[in-house]
A and B are shown apart, each in its own frame.
Chain A
Amino acid sequence: MTDSRFSPPRASRAGALWLLLLLVLVLVLAVCSLNVGASRLNLLNVLTADPDDRVSKILFASRLPRTLALILAGAALAVAGAILQMMARNRLVDTSTTGPMAAAALGMLVLAIALPDGLPLWARFLLVSGFAAGGILLFLGVLQRIPLRSALIVPLVGLIIAGVVHAGSGLIAHHFDLSQSLRAWNSGDFSAVLRGRYELLWVAAGLTLAAMLLADRFTVIGMGRDFAVNIGVNYGLLMAIGVALVAMIVGSVVVTAGVIPFIGLVAPNVVRVLTGDNLRRAVPMIALLGAAILLAADLLGRLLIHPYEVPSSNLLSIAGCVVFLAVLLHGRKQWS
């Protein structure tokens, strides 16, 4: 095609550059993450030493699984946030601020009470994902029944639902003397991630990939039902797929690490400024940025009071609030 009008617009070339930068950022953070921990180790040693020595053991049993878990969970949560924003047609929402995460934590609690002997991993994953799906449907269902949907009402509705679920879990946990466990699930971190305890997140990786393949359709969903129906997109089916994708991503992360807040809010909103909301272009960047944010939060948590750790979710809550306020102030013309 020689006609210059058919050449890709400037926006997409800038997008490719950002994508590359984010990729480099994730790689750099991943290398740092492999290097930081209670015991010192030099990555270069791994190349020369035999596989049974201490360095290799730490690396392959702990550091590498943890780093992979951070990348997979961060990317998946960021993409789940972007999909939820399209389904709710509002960019001020995230799985952690609207109910799904809180519902998943409730699911963990119910499991601990009803089946204290434990279930196989896949069963726990499916049950907790079911609770997360319930949280999403509750949120979307309430939204549908609110006639005047100002952009600011939507996140408020989400916060109320999340708050109610959270409080309910607290009551139940108190009654069954599980408050401490609930607190642990609610402030997720990756310090307990070892080889054999993070592999569920590969499911999240698969779901992230599926979301990338459906990116165009989720953008269409974000344009509203009439828009979607006009161009022949099966709106109901896509919404159902979206609920399932988001619920299973939340389920896999909560089962593995606990509640990780705000990544799904921060990453899509930053990428939106860089490349806009067309998910076909945005989703890869959203995933990389989500991975980078979670890697950075975890790294900072490991360094702040070294050799002890601050849960990454605590740091993310602080950072997330700042970004949330920035987005609100930046777009205040649209909200009023």
Chain B
Amino acid sequence: MIETRGVSKRYGDTLVVDDVSLSIPKGGFTSIIGPNGAGKSTLLSMISRLTPMNAGSVVVDGMDVTRTPGNVLARRLSILRQDNQTSLRLSVRDLVAFGRFPHSGGRLTAEDLRHVDEAMEYLQLHEYRDRPIDELSGGQRQRAYVAMVMCQDTDYVLLDEPLNNIDMRFAVDMMQLLRRAADEKGKTVVVVLHDINFASCYSDHIIAMRRGRPVYQGAPEQIIRDEVLRDLYEMDIRVHEVNGQRICVYFRMG
């Protein structure tokens, strides 16, 4: 379980995350949604100890993330942020293999190689294995990074906007993959998502944030509703049931 206790983050005079206390259950698929500037990404990066917090604490399975040694935490929790820019010339396989670093410190064992191959297979990267990542398209590179995080094989997998830069087909593949990681491998997947329809169709649990605070939490049926979304995004959103899925329509109202 991930627990945040009174977590705050301030940039200058702006309170980006405001005294957030919440818990994310172990197992399953949790989405964090909300308008721009709600503090979703900042909260995710504080949970994963990438950004120091101004107040509060985060505990993952009883471990305080700011006090647990980095390499211990790296075997339990992985984080992929947006904008993974690099000018380094690394092959896809080398990048994915870095996911095994917390387990073997760079000396890959047969077990590590199995994980590397499995992750590349999962994300259909085998044909690009020797390609330098700086020569890939944005979507291919995003898949390579996700493969690296999957290869890290942690109980908790945190992703910030993993659908950025990738087309619909790979977006669906990616969400199905993450769903499977939760269902078959018992991973706890926490994803910041902009596309509320993906959040609606794939999540077990949704956290809706606005202005630095979680304002709604619950199962998709409780969150993906006209009145909740109107309040959250301050715009008209109609929820329709299509093939048993709750789909939000907001493209052209009136």
Residue on A with the closest CB to B101?
Answer: A231
Partner of B74, one of A9, A222, A230: A230
Q: State the total of A-B contacts with C-beta under 8 angstroms.
A: 85
Contact of B91 with A234 in the complex, beta carbons under 8 Å:
no
Interface string of B71-110 (1 = CB under 8 A from A): 1111100111100101111110110001101100110001
B161 to chain A, nearest CB (A): 14
Interface string of A207-238 (1 = CB under 8 A from B): 00000000011011011111101111110000
Residue on A with the closest CB to B102?
Answer: A232
Contact of A224 with B129 in the complex, beta carbons under 8 Å:
no
Number of interface residues, chain A, beta carbon within 8 A? 32
Contacts of A234 in B (CB 8 A): 70-71
What is the bound-complex CA distance between A220 and B74, given in angstroms? Answer: 14
Q: Known contacts A6-B113, A280-B106: does B79 contact A230 (CB below 8 Å)? A: yes
Residue on B with the closest CB to A331?
Answer: B87
Contact of B94 with A278 in the complex, beta carbons under 8 Å:
yes
Contact of B132 with A276 in the complex, beta carbons under 8 Å:
yes
In residues 316-336 of chain A, which contact B (Cβ within 8 Å)? 334
A14 to chain B, nearest CB (A): 11
Interface string of A1-20 (1 = CB under 8 A from B): 10001100111000000000
Residue on A with the closest CB to B132?
Answer: A276
Q: Known contacts A10-B130, A276-B132: does B88 contact A232 (CB below 8 Å)? A: no
Contact of A231 with B74 in the complex, beta carbons under 8 Å:
yes
Partner of A230, one of B78, B87, B91, B110: B78
Contacts of A231 in B (CB 8 A): 74, 98-99, 101-102, 152
Contacts of B188 in A (CB 8 A): none
A302 touches B (CB below 8 Å): no
Number of interface residues, chain B, beta carbon within 8 A? 39
What is the bound-complex CA distance between A305 and B5, given in angstroms? Answer: 74
Interface string of A230-249 (1 = CB under 8 A from B): 11111000000000000000
Contacts of A90 in B (CB 8 A): 87
Contact of B87 with A334 in the complex, beta carbons under 8 Å:
yes
Contact of A272 with B50 in the complex, beta carbons under 8 Å:
no
Residue on A with the closest CB to B106?
Answer: A216
Contacts of A272 in B (CB 8 A): 89
A156 touches B (CB below 8 Å): no
| Chain B CB within 10 A, most for which of A226, A231, A233, A277 | A231
What is the bound-complex CA distance between A231 and B48, given in angstroms? Answer: 11
Q: Known contacts A6-B113, A9-B130, A276-B132: does B91 contact A232 (CB below 8 Å)? A: no
B30 to chain A, nearest CB (A): 19
B53 to chain A, nearest CB (A): 14
Contacts of B149 in A (CB 8 A): 230
What 4 A-B pairs are tightest by C-beta distance, nearest first? A232-B74, A232-B71, A216-B106, A276-B89
A-B contact pairs, 7 of them (CB 8 A): A10-B130, A90-B87, A222-B88, A226-B45, A233-B101, A276-B90, A334-B134
